[in-house]
Chain A
């Protein structure tokens, strides 16, 4: 079993995800270059945070056309595990692997801080070591994390329990003040119908070691590793 972390020009959380997988989760991991079609037999793909291709047009707009994303698309359709973090989430939305879009934060500013998210669905490969309703503290760091989709899509996401994380207060209330960016329905992370593709704005790799301030983010990696072992 092996993880792959994609490097786009402008990715800047690629090494962080790599470190967490290799040094904290102690799992094999490799980097995948954006121009490559070959996913090198990886069992899970991380689309990391950063500013792929500078994000000058729109976040994730150019990255979706890269050869590696074409391969990731096929991989996902075949049930492969894909985790998009922050810019990775934006890229997955632009690629159509996840519905909706991430817009400029309502406050118009970049926001970097730990936030609370409530686990809305613990029955995914990314959250299976969590309890439904459990509140995790994981940092965010973005300018465009304001999730938006149309009514019908939101309805579908709810009905199919595809909203995986929602911004919440420390006690688990889904309140407007707990929403750091204006996201629709306090959405912080969603998955696809097959539950094998997750996009989330918070950075789990940033809270995976105690010296960094928290370890809740590591639960995402733990879940993934568990599923991969079973598979």
Chain B
């Protein structure tokens, strides 16, 4: 080939591109011994970055189960797809946008939503729901736990939260996709490393799915959507580095989103796909034009040649290097059938969008980039995809620097104010109502939302024109993964699935977002490997395939890493959406039952497990021990009978028992309708705190007509679960007795106010509100 530039690839340049000397040698080898051009160096650097190549994680990700009879598309495409019946399939995926969101919260989060939506509609699916999993540093001073946070971080965390939430709202609301909520947690370790994981789900007819594959020599390659600018150049490599003071100076790297344009792009793409003239399509996300070109070619075992001069550009004087690496948003690359290009152009013109033929499909398996007719890059597709480095990085067992036994200074059962503790827990940032967040999201557009955010279980949507519905939930407890990565990951799967089952839906597939520190540190890699093991085990036991996801490493600032934070999104199917269960008690005088798949452990186990609870964190300001034990077989049975009971119409409500334990769960069940309850609990030897606020796994609070009680208990016992009738719903007062002694007594309305207003109060502590004259 003829190179138009005389490249001076120095060791500094290689290092600046995040490539090691060994990787550079491999590049030369793949290019048959020659030096890459500067454009090629840029292309290799983004494609071989951790973000695009999964070079550290790939060997581990292989262990995850990815198949079931429902899986239509597993990992490796823009999104996974499962068959949901009646000719429908759903595409879904979760992806992180952590680094950009820290640098510029509003745009970082907005473009995170934009990117995941494109991943969905590029498969031909219309996005029908989004959710988010967010992690921030502390937003209140009262938080305990380890390590200690500087109070200076609090205002910064407030503005990160505000920025991220308004970015998500702004993008999703304008695009017109309902946001069904998700989860938001606060821990000191996220102060310098907030996590923004965006999930999206779309619906597509099973016979109308599109793939990101090029095919057919001579077919035109068409660029559609926004023009290319210099934004986001090297975004993918940025996501593959630790943060330092210097990263703040990388601000120009952050892309700016245009949700209106994306909405037009959605409509135009779906319409163009309907024409039958589109062969393959891929969004230009991380690594932009580079990634879409070589991946589409590689998947279709063909080559793609593109001409830089034809690429629509927003700025003047852009080099091929910049054009190939730009991460400008709202762009797609598609391959059309030769001779039918005009059909595609007509649709994009109707929607007022650019659609330009920038190249063609070749048969040589190479990605070739031309500028003014001269070749500036020519790389075999495989060199960028399959031949990218794969590392089996060293693992080193790691122990969190926390005691495994309960510290001796902690005492229970000395007539503490348990009602007061309940109030404090309900108002604590991890447990309190997140209305302030989800009310900023349009959660009703498209008129499918059956279960809105804020109810605590899963988001539920109906599928128009069918009886079916979909339930979806996100979960991931970083603190538990910090204490025991393997067990913590199992809990993430179990709890997300349990939430879906609580809505009466059968879990059918999952996508994961794995947020970790620097993979070059053996202990971080060990956490990662443990998490994959735990997730694999739980997914196998609960029969939930992982259909794709995303890994985010290097979540470290100045050497301080985050808790290992895998986030699971589980999607479940409801054959009849009208049978979806809500968590709320519906009227006074109904029976309350605790369905339980976990055996009460002995006092020592209970002590060790209590250290991972929200109570330990919020009330005691301490962290010790292990996450609760989890019996996956029992968990699977629990979920199954829950779904059966929902189908049989035996239950009024079901709510998963999680953060804050039994009493917090009970209170949450009463909030929606302002219902109280009379509860009788008993225990031989455990302190009241453990019974009320312990977070044992595999427990669900259900309510029902008292006449259904025998049948429910009979079913549960048949499967080896317990189903204790613990009380009944009442009009307004919450009264909880333990061994006959009244331990909690409060008005449900008062508890609700504290739960609902806590987040607003925390955020308003440093902002004066506008008063209207």
Chain A residues with a Cβ under 8 A of chain B: 9-10, 12-13, 15-16, 19-20, 23, 49-51, 53-56, 106, 108-113, 139, 141, 143, 182, 203, 205-206, 208-209, 211-213
Contact call A106/B444, Cβ cutoff below 8 A: no
Contact call A10/B263, Cβ cutoff below 8 A: yes
B449 touches A (CB below 8 Å): yes
- In the bound assembly, the distance between CA atoms of A110 and B444 in angstroms comes to 13
Given A16-B446, A20-B447, A109-B440, verify A211-B578 contact (CB < 8 Å). yes
Contact call B174/A51, Cβ cutoff below 8 A: yes
Interface string of B420-459 (1 = CB under 8 A from A): 0000000000000000001111111111111010000000
Task: For residue A102, give the distance in angstroms from its CB to the closest CB of chain B.
Answer: 16
B31 touches A (CB below 8 Å): no
Interface string of B235-272 (1 = CB under 8 A from A): 00000000000000000000000111101100000000
Taking CB atoms, residues of chain B closer than 8 Å to A12 are: 174-176, 263, 445
Given A10-B263, A211-B450, A213-B452, verify A50-B176 contact (CB < 8 Å). yes
Give B266's nearest chain A residue, CB to CB.
Answer: A12
Taking CB atoms, residues of chain A closer than 8 Å to B176 are: 12-13, 50-51
Chain B residues with a Cβ under 8 A of chain A: 166, 169-170, 173-176, 258-261, 263-264, 351-352, 438-450, 452, 462, 464, 577-578, 770, 772
Given A110-B169, A182-B772, A211-B578, verify A54-B174 contact (CB < 8 Å). yes
- In the bound assembly, the distance between CA atoms of A141 and B439 in angstroms comes to 9
Taking CB atoms, residues of chain A closer than 8 Å to B174 are: 10, 12, 51, 54-55
**8 pairs, A vs B, C-beta closer than 8 Å:** A10-B174, A13-B445, A15-B446, A16-B445, A16-B447, A20-B447, A23-B464, A113-B439
- In the bound assembly, the distance between CA atoms of A112 and B172 in angstroms comes to 13
Give A23's nearest chain B residue, CB to CB.
Answer: B464
Taking CB atoms, residues of chain B closer than 8 Å to A23 are: 464
- In the bound assembly, the distance between CA atoms of A16 and B177 in angstroms comes to 12
Given A10-B260, A12-B263, A213-B452, verify A112-B439 contact (CB < 8 Å). yes
Task: For residue B417, give the distance in angstroms from its CB to the closest CB of chain A.
Answer: 32
Task: For residue A110, give the distance in angstroms from its CB to the closest CB of chain B.
Answer: 5
Contact call B770/A9, Cβ cutoff below 8 A: no
Taking CB atoms, residues of chain A closer than 8 Å to B448 are: 212
Give B451's nearest chain A residue, CB to CB.
Answer: A213
- In the bound assembly, the distance between CA atoms of A23 and B447 in angstroms comes to 12
- In the bound assembly, the distance between CA atoms of A6 and B651 in angstroms comes to 43
Taking CB atoms, residues of chain B closer than 8 Å to A10 are: 174, 260, 263-264
Given A112-B440, A211-B577, verify A54-B446 contact (CB < 8 Å). no
Given A10-B263, A12-B175, A211-B450, verify A203-B351 contact (CB < 8 Å). no
Given A9-B351, A12-B176, A111-B439, verify A106-B770 contact (CB < 8 Å). yes
Task: For residue A165, give the distance in angstroms from its CB to the closest CB of chain B.
Answer: 18
Taking CB atoms, residues of chain A closer than 8 Å to B438 are: 112
Give B769's nearest chain A residue, CB to CB.
Answer: A107
- In the bound assembly, the distance between CA atoms of A143 and B173 in angstroms comes to 10
- In the bound assembly, the distance between CA atoms of A14 and B457 in angstroms comes to 30
| 19 further A-B pairs in the complex, CB-CB below 8 A; given A53-B260, A106-B772 | A9-B260, A9-B264, A10-B260, A13-B445, A16-B447, A51-B176, A54-B258, A54-B259, A54-B260, A56-B260, A106-B770, A109-B439, A112-B443, A141-B442, A208-B447, A211-B450, A211-B578, A212-B448, A213-B452
Taking CB atoms, residues of chain B closer than 8 Å to A211 are: 450, 462, 577-578
- In the bound assembly, the distance between CA atoms of A188 and B624 in angstroms comes to 53
Taking CB atoms, residues of chain B closer than 8 Å to A56 are: 260
Task: For residue B352, give the distance in angstroms from its CB to the closest CB of chain A.
Answer: 6
Task: For residue B466, give the distance in angstroms from its CB to the closest CB of chain A.
Answer: 12
Among candidates A13, A110, A209, A213, residue contacting B440 with C-beta atoms closer than 8 Å: A110
Taking CB atoms, residues of chain A closer than 8 Å to B439 are: 109, 111-113
- In the bound assembly, the distance between CA atoms of A209 and B578 in angstroms comes to 12
- In the bound assembly, the distance between CA atoms of A27 and B444 in angstroms comes to 23
Give B162's nearest chain A residue, CB to CB.
Answer: A109
**Nearest 5 A-B pairs (CB), nearest first?**
A12-B176, A54-B260, A16-B447, A51-B174, A141-B442
- In the bound assembly, the distance between CA atoms of A212 and B578 in angstroms comes to 10
- In the bound assembly, the distance between CA atoms of A211 and B443 in angstroms comes to 14
- In the bound assembly, the distance between CA atoms of A143 and B175 in angstroms comes to 14
- In the bound assembly, the distance between CA atoms of A206 and B445 in angstroms comes to 7
Contact call B446/A139, Cβ cutoff below 8 A: no
Taking CB atoms, residues of chain B closer than 8 Å to A9 are: 260, 263-264, 351-352
- In the bound assembly, the distance between CA atoms of A133 and B487 in angstroms comes to 58
Contact call B444/A206, Cβ cutoff below 8 A: yes
Give A108's nearest chain B residue, CB to CB.
Answer: B770
Taking CB atoms, residues of chain A closer than 8 Å to B462 are: 211
Among candidates A16, A113, A141, A212, residue contacting B173 with C-beta atoms closer than 8 Å: A141
- In the bound assembly, the distance between CA atoms of A200 and B443 in angstroms comes to 19
Task: For residue B768, give the distance in angstroms from its CB to the closest CB of chain A.
Answer: 13
- In the bound assembly, the distance between CA atoms of A208 and B446 in angstroms comes to 12
Give A180's nearest chain B residue, CB to CB.
Answer: B439
Among candidates A19, A109, A111, A143, residue contacting B447 with C-beta atoms closer than 8 Å: A19
Give A52's nearest chain B residue, CB to CB.
Answer: B260
- In the bound assembly, the distance between CA atoms of A49 and B447 in angstroms comes to 12
- In the bound assembly, the distance between CA atoms of A209 and B174 in angstroms comes to 24
Taking CB atoms, residues of chain B closer than 8 Å to A19 are: 447, 464
Task: For residue B206, give the distance in angstroms from its CB to the closest CB of chain A.
Answer: 21
- In the bound assembly, the distance between CA atoms of A49 and B442 in angstroms comes to 12
Taking CB atoms, residues of chain B closer than 8 Å to A112 are: 173, 438-444
- In the bound assembly, the distance between CA atoms of A113 and B577 in angstroms comes to 22
Taking CB atoms, residues of chain A closer than 8 Å to B577 are: 211
Task: For residue A221, give the distance in angstroms from its CB to the closest CB of chain B.
Answer: 13
Task: For residue B348, give the distance in angstroms from its CB to the closest CB of chain A.
Answer: 12
- In the bound assembly, the distance between CA atoms of A203 and B176 in angstroms comes to 14
- In the bound assembly, the distance between CA atoms of A196 and B387 in angstroms comes to 67
Task: For residue B763, give the distance in angstroms from its CB to the closest CB of chain A.
Answer: 11
- In the bound assembly, the distance between CA atoms of A201 and B555 in angstroms comes to 42
Task: For residue B649, give the distance in angstroms from its CB to the closest CB of chain A.
Answer: 16
Task: For residue B754, give the distance in angstroms from its CB to the closest CB of chain A.
Answer: 19
Contact call A109/B352, Cβ cutoff below 8 A: no
- In the bound assembly, the distance between CA atoms of A96 and B351 in angstroms comes to 27
- In the bound assembly, the distance between CA atoms of A19 and B462 in angstroms comes to 14
